Amino acid sequence: MAINLSVNLNKVALLRNSRGAQNPSPRTAGICCLDHGAYGLTLHWRHDNRHTRAEDVRVLRAMTRERGVELNLEGDARSELVELAAELRVDQFTLVPVKPGEVTSDHGWDLPKDHATIAPIVERLKPLGIRCAIFVDPNPDLMKAAAATGADRVEIYTEPYASAWGTPRLKAELARVKATAQAAVAVGMQVNCGHDLNLRNTPLLAREVPEIVEASIGHALIADALYLGLAETVERYVRACRGEAVDAPITQ
């Protein structure tokens, strides 16, 4: 079973912001990704606007609605983000915990401790037809608490799996992802995944964890696009999400 590829465009926005102009354009990059097989697009709007901005979300939402494809909006529990998701009726809202000073997301929600933060947001958005997902560590014991929030999906944090690539830990980390996905399905949830996935480690995940329905991939994909071109890169990632072995650029 193939994983649906949602391309995270944050690094395109980050590069644009470095010059303070409009190039490169997340919208133009998004169109290219969709034209070459991506299922949908992802934006993570952080409070400091260091990459994606609120206007990017509006522009991408208009474009994805025109094309009939999915926009996944990620972020923390701050009210301005939740209200933007509600206003634009994004297809999916993925709640991700954020800690001050982090370079990138590096942990899932502390469940059931964070239930009172998550559940009201899910209750606010689901009646609007917005699918809700929550970012979780690869731990099957957390899935009952995840389901209790009312969320439709979990997004499994795959950095531990990715960092184990080529090491003796890989088998155990893959097993943890698989067990977490199976536990989520057992309590009525669907499964997304994301973080540090690339052309080398995605095919194995697609083959071994058929419960995964969607992967959000950004940093590695945009980095590979510097060597391969965006269109070719997206096509390779789509194949990787089908479990096919794909050549990856040699970067070191």
Spot the catalytic one: 70, 74, 159, 173: 74
Q: Is 195 a catalytic residue?
A: yes
Question: 114: burial class by Cβ within 10 Å (0-12, 13-18, 19+)?
Answer: middle
How far apart are alpha carbons 57 and 72 in whole angstroms? 10
Spot the catalytic one: 51, 159, 173, 195: 195
Whether the ω angle into residue 112 lies within 30 degrees of 0, i.e. cis, is yes
Q: By the 8 A CB rule, do 133 and 180 touch?
A: no
Q: By the 8 A CB rule, do 74 and 96 touch?
A: yes
How far apart are alpha carbons 227 and 249 in whole angstroms? 7
3-state DSSP assignment of residue 191: strand
Number of alpha carbons in the 13 Å side-chain half-sphere of residue 151: 33
Q: By the 8 A CB rule, do 90 and 130 touch?
A: yes
Spot the catalytic one: 44, 70, 155, 214: 44
Q: How many residues does the chain have?
A: 252
By annotation, the residues acting in catalysis are 44, 74, 195
